[in-house]
Structure 1
Amino acid sequence: MGGALPAAAQDQALAADATFCGGLSANGQWLGGTESASDLAAANAHLEQMALVLQNNEYVGLFSLSAPAAVRLEAQGRGSGDPAIDLYDEGGAVVLSDDDSGGDGAARAETELQPGRYCLAMRSYDGSPMTGFVRVGRTEHEALTTGADTPAAPPTDPAMPPAEDPDATGLDAACDPATLSTFLGEGEPLDRLLANGPVTATATANEVPFWGFRLETPAALSITAENPDADPSITITDEFGGYLADNDDWDGLNSRIDLSAPLQPGSYCLQVNALADTAQPITVTVAPFDVQAAQIGLYERGEASPPLDGSYPVTALGPVDGRLRQDVRTDDTAAWLSFEVGQPGLIVIEAVTNNLGDPSLVLFDEVGRQIAFNDDNGGSYDALVAARVMPGTYLVGVRQFGDGAQALTRMLLELYVPTQPAP
């Protein structure tokens, strides 16, 4: 490859350029930050990374073993996230898979592994976006999860005051439409009220764990629950208790359910939980489902790339020939930049804030296929992606983690092309 990379960037480029695990490593991140620091046999403690899994996508963590070892592999989602893991050996064969062996929806597996390089893939069980933690360690290292066979907690003390009893909120109970006393829109059919705008209500999860609502005509809806300090999660069921949908951490810690297929006339129940603080107010909003707004939301969260027809703001950087630098003021909405590649090579893109921000990067080709994603590279809050590219147009999105977060971010794009043999 032409040019020279810093040591950490060389390791990241190597990860993207390698073909082990059947090519899965191309979009992987070394769990120790660099390849040399990801040898689990020589590690003094476990290796761990926090990972954002976009919709119908997966995170791939890379590690190696210089000697045989008994290892523990774990993944734990934030909130109600339900991770599943697959471990691939260097040749791309699946060594093991797990979903719920860690307890409370977490994934966990313990096994003996031989020397080599490995890829641990974490995905959301139902394909929804999820933030989680991936940890690999030898069995003597500290575990991330409790394990599914951990004994249950002792029964609650009958003398405990109701306010301190977790069941007193009713958050773990099923919704009974016959006993509902709190309705969105004060019991009026929502399809009538939505003609005048969204319907909104605010209460704590302690005060109102269940909101009821009625429809007289079919309606496609978007339902949100907002307050990051509460970390809300929501579940919607029909009048017979049948599950319809749920969500946690749709964008940051807020939740949203998009029901693009119209709900039929009838009564429905919305369960609202607070995973962080049940005493914090949560604002619930019901609005008509808007296809265009939903698509723009994907662009703003970096889950899909915008079109290049001028209908959505994209900063054109032009061709990348060697190195290109651009300063961008970023916030929690993805800023999009496009660039041109004229010859096959390796593109390395960095988002640098020197720990004054927490940026993430996502890279798409011109067709809209996601090529790479990264957050928190090399033990810092800055981000780096490296991927093979062919001639064409690419889009990179950069956003800050956290509601309302802002930072001046320096974008650095470097294209490395294969050296040509001497004549």
Structure 2
Amino acid sequence: MTKRISTALTAGLFALAALPAAAQDAGLCGGTAANAQWLGGDEASSDISTTSSYVEQMALVLLRNEYVGLFTVSEAGEYRIEAEGRGGGDTVIDIRDAAGTIVASDDDSGGAGASRAETVLQPGTYCVAMRSFDGTPLTGFVRAGRIDLEPLTDGFGALPPASDGGECDLSSATPLTLGQPVTNAWNQQNTYSLQLDAPTSVTLTAENEDADPILTIFDPAGDWIAENDDFDGLNSRVDLADPLAAGTYCVSLGLYGDESAPITVTAKEYDAAEVQRNLYNRGDASPPLDGSHPVFSLGELETRLREDVNVSGDAVWYSFDIYEGGLVLVEAIAQGQGDPVLVMYDDLGRQVGYNDDSQGSLDSLLTVRVQPGTYLVAVRQLDDSTTGFIRMVFERYVPARP
């Protein structure tokens, strides 16, 4: 298959990003599709339900940006989405539906730093975002196709059976009750059951970054439903927005970390508003400016503004208005402990900038060419367990006039 090359570059100081052609609907996938590329070359060739082979692109990602590929599904079924870096690159992938909800994500299930997600998808349009785990430059392949087609990656053979599509044994499972967390070390308990008495939309989480858990769910017939690794840091989460039928479901844990570390497993009813808030808190989507989510308005950005803010792993949002095209520089400077991350969106929800660790430091710097409009900037700590003061600087530059 011919490999198509796409490039995503983050702008340096007074340098502009070289971006691929935008997708036709920039609002797809919660705005992450603004610069996406069809994996099959065009929309008609990117339906992985009907293509005779997988669809694939080769992408170059620099300076903590990400490559986003688009594909469609016309028939519900099980599909495989993968990414593999060249030269040992460590990839991370997120798969989002058209509304922007993450339906699967993975770090290392492809083996040797490659990413691999096998999941059931309903008809619709999807985005797969590939980035480097540590933010270093990355060249890699992104592939999507039916589960019966040739895989890109070898898979991670050392995972427990549930994490590579094996069976889930309910005979030794610990029951889960909706809304009641259960905590056990993986080497003491790694299989759980969930009894649903009526059709229910469900969210499941597995939390302890020292354990780095992998969460897998099987239906009452023993068929694989969904899997997740590294949704929030090294913690795992699966959101099942479509109601599951009544019955007993099996929840299995794998892990990459400490087998003796306690892992908290929680099953609860799916909350669409919470899912959206999580996107805002991680900076993965921009909130509306209707007051439903906190956004600090800076008004018109005329020259230079400075703000100090105490930031944790949840993003703090700012908005500002631009009435004349030019250049905006945003800095996040840790005042003591901290490793800030910056993300910037336009008023249509399109990501226009992302940065972490600028100029050899843990501080962040964005330089974005802007047109008249309203822009939103999120700042958060890279480490969810860190809270510290960040000094924010917003500067506006106008083009020189002859």
TM-score, normalised relative to structure 2? 0.66
Q: CA offset at residue 260 of structure 1?
A: 0.6
Matched, 1:401 2:382: yes
Matched, 1:106 2:120: no
Question: Is the CA contact (8 Å cut-off) linking 2:198 and 2:245 kept in structure 1?
Answer: yes
Q: What letter corresponds to residue 12 of structure 1 in structure 2?
A: G
Given the superposition, is the C-alpha separation of residues 20 and 132 from structure 1 closer, same or farther in structure 2, using an over 3 Å criterion?
A: closer
Question: Is the CA contact (8 Å cut-off) linking 1:75 and 1:83 kept in structure 2?
Answer: no
Question: Is the CA contact (8 Å cut-off) linking 1:171 and 1:209 kept in structure 2?
Answer: no
Question: Is the CA contact (8 Å cut-off) linking 1:363 and 1:395 kept in structure 2?
Answer: yes
Please list the CA deviations of residues 92-119 of structure 1 after superposition, one character each: whole Å capped at 9, or x if unmatched: xxxxxxx99x953528xxxxxxxxxxxx
Given the superposition, is the C-alpha separation of residues 177 and 22 from structure 1 closer, same or farther in structure 2, using an over 3 Å criterion?
A: closer
Question: Is the CA contact (8 Å cut-off) linking 2:312 and 2:380 kept in structure 1?
Answer: yes
Hey, what does 1:254 align to over in structure 2?
A: 235
Hey, what does 1:183 align to over in structure 2?
A: 174
Question: Is the CA contact (8 Å cut-off) linking 1:346 and 1:386 kept in structure 2?
Answer: yes
Given the superposition, is the C-alpha separation of residues 22 and 15 from structure 1 closer, same or farther in structure 2, using an over 3 Å criterion?
A: farther
RMSD (CA atoms): 3.7
Question: Is the CA contact (8 Å cut-off) linking 1:175 and 1:271 kept in structure 2?
Answer: no
Q: CA offset at residue 317 of structure 1?
A: 1.1
Q: CA offset at residue 15 of structure 1?
A: 3.4
Q: CA offset at residue 404 of structure 1?
A: 2.5
The DSSP-based 3-state class of the residue aligned with 2:12 is: helix
> Which structure features the higher share of helix residues?
1
**Structure 2 residue ranges without an equivalent (≥5):** 1-10, 24-33, 36-60, 71-85, 96-106, 116-125, 140-151
Partners of 1:297 and 1:205 in 2: how far apart?
Answer: 26
Hey, what does 1:373 align to over in structure 2?
A: 354
Hey, what does 2:13 align to over in structure 1?
A: 13
Question: Is the CA contact (8 Å cut-off) linking 1:82 and 1:105 kept in structure 2?
Answer: no
Q: CA offset at residue 174 of structure 1?
A: 5.6
Hey, what does 1:127 align to over in structure 2?
A: 128
**Structure 1 residue ranges without an equivalent (≥5):** 1-10, 28-47, 58-71, 85-98, 108-124, 138-147, 154-165
Partners of 1:292 and 1:237 in 2: how far apart?
Answer: 25
Question: Is the CA contact (8 Å cut-off) linking 2:163 and 2:215 kept in structure 1?
Answer: no
The DSSP-based 3-state class of the residue aligned with 2:368 is: strand
Query: Max radius of gyration: which structure?
Result: 1
Give the % identical residues: 39
Given the superposition, is the C-alpha separation of residues 19 and 52 from structure 1 closer, same or farther in structure 2, using an over 3 Å criterion?
A: closer
Between the two proteins, the alignment pairs up a number of residues equal to: 306
The DSSP-based 3-state class of the residue aligned with 1:340 is: strand
Partners of 2:255 and 2:227 in 1: how far apart?
Answer: 14
> Where do residues 289-368 of structure 1 align in structure 2 (5 Å cutoff)?
289-353=270-334, 356-368=337-349
Partners of 1:149 and 1:239 in 2: how far apart?
Answer: 29
Question: Is the CA contact (8 Å cut-off) linking 1:348 and 1:413 kept in structure 2?
Answer: yes
Matched, 1:227 2:208: yes
The DSSP-based 3-state class of the residue aligned with 1:352 is: strand
Matched, 1:237 2:218: yes
Q: CA offset at residue 20 of structure 1?
A: 7.5
Partners of 2:172 and 2:395 in 1: how far apart?
Answer: 60
